[in-house]
Amino acid sequence: MEDENMNATLVILAAGLGSRFAGGIKQLEPLGPGGEIIMDYSIYDAVEAGFDKVVFIIRRDIKDAFDKMIGERIKKIVKTDYVFQELDCLPKGFECPKDRVKPWGHGHAVYCCKDAVKEPFVVINADDYYGKQAFVQLYDKLKEMQSAPQTPMSIALVGFELQNTLSEFGSVNRGVCKVKNGKLESIKETYNIRREADGKIHCGKETDEVIADDNPVSMNMWACPPEFITKLGEYFESFLKENVNNITAEFLLPGGIEKMIENGDVTCAVTQSSDKWFGITYAEDTPSAKANFKALVDKGVYPAKLWG
């Protein structure tokens, strides 16, 4: 699986942890039998698949707390770097409004990696468990991209079956994908997704729709060549021209990618994972997440103490 000729980076979106990090946050509660958090398992799976570098995107003010929680031990395993998502990390010619306090969104977070990521990369959320299959699939996609660059630029997304991404404790929001011939056509942020008493998956707030159990959804797991960040920066500039003074507007990665697809600047292959996603959407999800990790350890998927 590992390819010595290809360097690949795992980019972890963790800036959203914010100032709550040091005081504790449910997504960072130890879940594994050895005290591991979800990020530990993602990094373990990525390294096993062939990734040789991890970049954490965080806020500067949580650096010390982050190091104590996970950074110090990960540095012993794989090359690591930090990127700080700061409000004034903007393209030349733009200034952040003085009254803006809200981050610019995870599309901006990836843009902030422009000086730190020069190799093929996969970007993931800090608080989602994706399973081993997804990392293997995207590592292989990155190898394909590197060996045969395409025009327009080729990127990839792991699509999870909607039924494998639900919480039994309440509704969830997901990026519902429309896929044709293995390519992403559109991605729609969809709210209030839940399974009703009729056994079907419903969504919507004001209107009610039914979505198929196996409809692919995005959990924000993308594989991209390094030049993608430059293209993303162009779209971020366009966003800023319209929204720089809107102190709540966010530049979201799926929305930016959908516009790139519409404009013919990228094509996005969708690879389907049969693994069951899980995370901590609600505090009540914590016991089941712990049980899931214990079951994976009992099956031999992971060692009882992840890092030895």
Is residue 220 in a domain? yes
Q: Are residues 174 and 159 in contact, defined by beta-carbon separation less than 8 angstroms? A: no
Q: pLDDT digits over 252-268, tens only?
A: 999 999 999 999 999 99
- Asked if pLDDT for residue 17 goes beyond 90, the answer is no
Number of domains making up the chain: 1
Is residue 253 in a domain? yes
- Asked if pLDDT for residue 4 goes beyond 70, the answer is no
- 247 Cβ neighbours under 8 A, 6+ residues apart: 97, 99, 100, 101, 102
CATH number for the domain spanning 158: value is: 3.90.550.10
Is residue 4 in a domain? no
Question: Cα 4–8–13 angle (5° rounding)?
Answer: 155
Is residue 308 in a domain? no
Q: pLDDT digits over 112-145, tens only?
A: 999 999 999 999 999 899 999 999 999 999 999 9
pTM given for the model: 0.93
Residue with tokens 């800090």: 126
Is residue 34 in a domain? yes
Per the DSSP assignment, residues forming a β-bridge with 202 are 194, 210
Domain span at 18 = 9-298
Nearest residue to 120 via CA among 153, 86, 160, 74 = 153
Mean pLDDT, residues 281-300 taken together: 91
Q: Are residues 29 and 71 in contact, defined by beta-carbon separation less than 8 angstroms? A: no
Is residue 85 in a domain? yes
Is residue 306 in a domain? no
Is residue 108 in a domain? yes
pLDDT level of residue 99 (50, 70, 90 thresholds):
very high
Q: pLDDT digits over 177-211, tens only?
A: 999 999 999 999 899 999 999 999 999 877 889 99
- 282 Cβ neighbours under 8 A, 6+ residues apart: 167, 169, 170
